[in-house]
Amino acid sequence: MIRGNNEPFSNFNSKLRFRTKSSKQYDVLPKHVKDAAFKYVNNSKGIRSPAGPHHFLLCIVISVIFYTVLAILEKSLPEPVTITNEHNYPDRFVAERARNHLVKLTSMGPRPVGSKENEILAVKLFLDEIKTIITQADPSHKVEWDLQRVSGAFSLQFLDGMTNVYRNVQNIVVKIGPVQTSRHSLLINCHFDSVVDSPGASDDGASCAIMLELLRVISRLKVPLKNNIIFLFNGAEENMMQASHGFITQHQWASSIRAFINMEACGAGGKEILFQVGPNHPWLLEAYSDAVPYPLASSMAQEIFQSGIIPGDTDYRIFRDFGRVSGLDFAWSANGYVYHTKSDTVDKIPLGTFQRTGDNMLPLILKLVNSVQISDVEKYSTGNLVFFDFLGIFIVHWSEVLSDIINISVIIISLLVILYNASHTHVTGFSVKDYFKSCFKCSSLIVLIWLATLFTIAILSLIVVLLDRCLSWFAQPAWLLFLYITPTILVPMVLLVLFGRKFLWGKKGTHYPQSLMYCISRDGNQLLFIMILLLCVLLRIRSGFAVALFVTCNTISIILHNTILNNNYGYKVLWLHWGCMLVPFMLSAYMIQAALLLVVPIMGRSGSGNHAESVMSLITSAMFTLVFSFYNPLVLLLQKAYTVFSSLAVVLFVSFLVLVFTPLGFPYSGDPDNLAPQRFMIAHVERSFYSYNGSLRDHQNGLWIVNLDVNSPHSVVRHAPELMNARQITQDECNKELYCGLPYFIPVITFIWKTHWIDTKPLDVDIPLSLNLTYRDYRLNNVQRLSFSAIGPDHITFTLSLYDDIKLKDWSFSSGEPLKGPQWNGRPTYFVYYSCANDIIPWDFWIDIEVPKTHVGPQIEVGLSGHRMHGPHQYTPELKKLFNQLPQWTTTTGWASSYKSYTL
């Protein structure tokens, strides 16, 4: 917005024409006259000399400092209560006692379902502790416990989709409530089983240890509870949430549950984040906001997680979908490098993390269980909330209706401010229509600049891949700043300066000053985000609160610029704008830091076929592109913008030199205090393929290397020379054999499709695995029932595909329509996972298929995998030898497996 203030508009406009480079009269003037005119116009009241580049660079430096401080503060934890000083803190959660429980649990080693450690030793440990707690409980509480052994099945639309079948998985259930029994209960859930080869300290033994201490504290309270609390220690979550399904669908106490709290982890320690709440029932979030001393929550995190972008799931899904119950889902996310590895040990979890989680859960549990709402939950099912914490200090939340009102109000006020700017341009011939036209053109330019920025980042990531320097940021996330955030700041500013004038032209042949260009660019950016905010309102996207905050603060900046600074376009407007945008910047930096804390470790196990370098670079760039979009127009006010450009370009260029010519970009770390290991998942496999006539058509033995990142397995070839013989599984093999003829443990073939194979001698242990077609029953309407009996270890997967004219009508695994998986050779596939925790017997099942009378020959293709995931025969000598050769900056998971393919 340009105003001449006390000068006549005509006189002011003549000055603008006098400055116009295209004016012939202007061109013939001596240089000293031109300079004097330029200085006069720019120093007129309302127009000041452009800001120096050092101001802008200083803003960037201070922003980086703020971000760094926030990252440091994120690690702050409360002082833990210990056993020696607990007498000073009556009725407080004692972190050290919870940690001691975890030490006992993890000393058993890994606890996969079916192992002695999980099914016997862990169960005994929990029951012994629970019985001791019961004997010391206050008489005002009634405490009961139950050991559930349960079997069942369900379909799960997770990853590629699967049908989950389980037998004899175990749950330890404790109910504490008033002596006069209540019909209403609050469920608290954890799981004590672990993945193969991991002691599972954080995932999820620590949650169970915390629950034991919570149970102890609550049981000793003198005031009786109004309703029941059910503590569920479930023993089969890593088998795709089997035990929680068995509890919520079959346990006698399940019908009394009105709400739940699920405690999980995708990292070791840090702060537990509330990343899912509901559905509906806003009183749950309100109770959290009122009760917890250390809040950390975001509806944006919930929308991102539930979108499926992050490959993970929790028991929250089971309670929500099968129990029809609403609840809260918490997880630790710091130090995700040790998640599901051998390094997930007690020492990786700070004692303050136990204290923080316990201090949050205890008042939250008591608030919920004693609430009025839990006795009549349907009465309070009134939609969802928009919520987020502000730097961990307090929770901000409002209803979706109020969110719409706020967002629409922000849109209207912002549009009125832009309209005011347009009507006060005071440039002859530049109407309100022209102003808005230029703003919309600028909005289009900004979108093009965003796309160009992402394209540039994609090119840079491709260069990094070609230089074989992938994942430099994995162990040192600061590389993201130098490689991808720096060009994210640089490219939009350069493009705005280069092309902004062409987009922001007034009348043809007329040049307007930088200040007007700045106003239109600023308001054009505002218009674009107003449209984004309107889209959030229409699509019911709760994450729109972040956009609304940016738009609001930008509007405040414009108003203050118009009033306090009286349209000064010098360095003051730069600092005013930076100050106004500080709150949304800090909030976005806070959320971005949390996101990177989660996503960076995930990229190390996302599969080598998923281009982690490009994905991570684009995610990072996209987040910072939106944030810095509100700062980019300021470059139009700089006196020497090229100084900013050259400074950032030097940082980028030097970063690439350091990355290429020094070891500072090595992507992994074996430092115990800063672990970032490369993961290797390798199975020693025996696989057999049978023809339609039952004859063996192929038999192989080898090491199957599941490439979990882009550097696998070539990064360790010099340590393990036999990996030189590894060959990539080709697409031809995958087209020929169902699921590539490989023993996939979970359905992730579209997620992790790039794997390697090394031929070896036969397994030295026998894995009993067979599939027998016991009978074929011909039924009405061309339907045949094929009955099978499968023999194998306690973890089996079954894959099925039908020939083109065959239809799957029903099966015995689960009720409802069988859940399809990905296409294979144009035919649907079906993936069934089966586990047996105790008393292994043959797995009997049937499928019904519809076969046209004209069909001749094979009808179905099936694959059966058996997995030795625990016990003395888990590792073969070949696996042990290979694992011993790998360097200390790697971590391994392995087992023996058998695979058999049949055409029937």
Amino acid at 205: G
pLDDT in tens, 206-261: 999 999 999 999 999 999 999 999 999 999 999 999 999 999 999 999 999 999 99
The whole-number pLDDT of residue 165 equals 97
pLDDT of residue 430: 74
Q: What is the mean pLDDT of residues 549-576?
A: 89
Share of the chain above pLDDT 90, in %: 78
Q: What is the pLDDT of residue 608?
A: 86
Please return the burial class of 15, using the count of CB atoms within 10 Å of its CB with bins 0-12, 13-18 and 19+. buried
Write the CA distances from 486 to 82, 472, 597, 629, integer angstroms: 45, 16, 19, 14
In the block, which residue shows the tokens 């401080």?
69
8 A C-beta contact, residue 465 and residue 51: no
Element (H, E) at 190: strand 185-191
Rounded to the nearest integer, the mean pLDDT of the chain is: 90
Phi, psi (deg, nearest 5) at residue 262: -110, 130
Among candidate residues 872, 894, 789, 787, the one with its CA nearest the CA of residue 834: 789
Question: Between 593 and 412, whose confidence is greater?
Answer: 412
Q: What is the pLDDT of residue 451?
A: 96
Q: What is the pLDDT of residues 160-209, one digit of tens each?
A: 999 999 999 999 999 999 999 899 999 999 999 999 999 999 999 999 99
The pLDDT, as a whole number, for residue 308 is 76
* Structure token pair of residue 106: 């993890």
Judging by DSSP bridges, how do beta strands 770-778 and 783-791 pair with one another? antiparallel
Of 118, 103, 106, 165, whose CA–CA distance to 871 is shortest?
A: 118
Contact 809, 783 (CB under 8 A): yes
- The angle subtended at Cα 436 by Cα 433 and Cα 441, nearest 5°, is 125
The per-residue pLDDT for 18 is 35
Q: Is 664 left (phi over 0), alpha (psi -120 to 50) or beta?
A: alpha
Instruction: Say what the pLDDT of residue 50 is.
Output: 61
Mean pLDDT, residues 798-823: 94
**SS3 per residue for 86-121:** HHHCCCCCCHHHHHHHHHHHHCCCCCCCCCHHHHHH
Confidence (pLDDT) at 5:
36
pLDDT at 158: 85
* The pLDDT of residue 499: 85
pLDDT exceeds cutoff 90 at 340: yes
User: Each residue of 797-831: b (16+ CB within 10 Å) or e?
Assistant: bbbbbbeeebebbbbebbeeebbebbebeeebbbb
N-terminal to C-terminal alpha carbon distance within the chain: 77
With helix as H, strand as E and coil as C, how does 749-767 read? CCCCCCEEEEECCCCCCCC
**Tokens representing residue 892 in the block:** 């391994």
SS3 category, 800: strand
Residue 355 token pair:
């204290």
For residue 82, which phi and psi values (nearest 5 degrees)? -110, 170
Average pLDDT of the residues in 484-502: 90
**46-67 as b/e, with b when 16 or more CB fall inside 10 Å?**
bbbebbbbbbbeebbeebeeeb
**Strand 783-791's sheet: what is its strand order?**
770-778, 783-791, 843-850, 807-811
At 361, list the tokens. Answer: 């859960």
CA distance 244 to 262: 11
- 3-class state of residue 632 by DSSP: helix
Q: How many residues does the chain have?
A: 904
Name the catalytic one among 129, 213, 237, 238.
237
- Cα 481 to the chain's mean position, in Å? 20
Question: What is the C-alpha to C-alpha distance for residues 224 and 792, in angstroms, rounded to an integer?
Answer: 50
The secondary structure of the chain in percent helix, strand, coil, rounded to multiples of 5, reads 45, 20, 35
The residues pairing with 146 across neighbouring beta strands, listed in sequence order, are 173
> Residue 158's closest CA among 758, 746, 885?
746
What is the C-alpha to C-alpha distance for residues 881 and 862, in angstroms, rounded to an integer? 33
pLDDT higher than threshold 60 for residue 606? yes
Structure tokens at 322: 């099968």
- pLDDT of 426 reads 64
pLDDT at 442: 92
Where residue 429 falls among pLDDT bands split at 50, 70, 90?
Answer: low
Residue 166 amino acid letter: Y
pTM for this prediction: 0.91
Residue 237 known to be catalytic? yes
Q: What is the pLDDT of residues 89-112, one digit of tens each?
A: 999 999 999 999 999 999 999 999
User: How many whole angstroms from its chain centre is CA 247?
Assistant: 27
